[in-house]
Amino acid sequence: MVAACVLATLYLGAGNWETVQRFFGEHLRTNPAPAGTCPAKVARSISGDGPVNLVAAYRTSQHDVIICRTGTSRFYYHGEVTGNPGSAMDLPARKTAKGYLAVNGSYTYEVRGRRIIVSRSGQVIGDYRGRPFKP
């Protein structure tokens, strides 16, 4: 982020304020800042890694999706049907160039910005638009 600020400052000197505003505005919309501590319901399923921080939380029309990171920089995906905590699943995840990816057998759960893409055996079975929420 520091490098981005330095580059933005240099770019501003060249009279490109609108371009810089667009970049940072889009970055903040698609990559929300961590919002603090991971919810207890998720942190309980992650053991032995010190503090667990919230990376992102999105609510779609049907699901709540939460990404958390441990003190040793391991990522976890929590997904559940909105309003049905019995449907919850917690999976190890990894950071990718486009977001986060969790795998459960033949199912994959990918978080790309505000999109949550669910695939089974390589075929997309759900593509949801999420909105940030505070869990």
Q: Per-block average pLDDT, block size 10, for the chain (135 residues)?
A: 41 46 43 68 78 94 94 93 92 96 98 96 97 93
* CA atoms within 13 A of residue 108's CA, in its CB half-sphere: 13
Q: What is the pLDDT of residue 37?
A: 87
Answer positive or negative: Cα dihedral of 96, 98, 103, 106.
Answer: negative
Give the other-Cβ count within 10 Å of 42's Cβ.
22
Q: Rounded distance, CA 12 to CA 74, Å? A: 36
Would you say 119 and 133 are in contact if contact means Cβ atoms under 8 Å apart?
no
Report pLDDT for 41.
Answer: 83
Strands 52-59 and 36-37: antiparallel
pLDDT in tens, 64-90: 999 999 988 899 999 999 999 899 999
Task: Give pLDDT, residue 46.
Answer: 81
Who's near 37: CB < 8 A, 6+ residues apart?
A: 43, 51, 52, 53, 54
Report pLDDT for 85: 87
Q: Check residue 36 and give its pLDDT.
A: 81
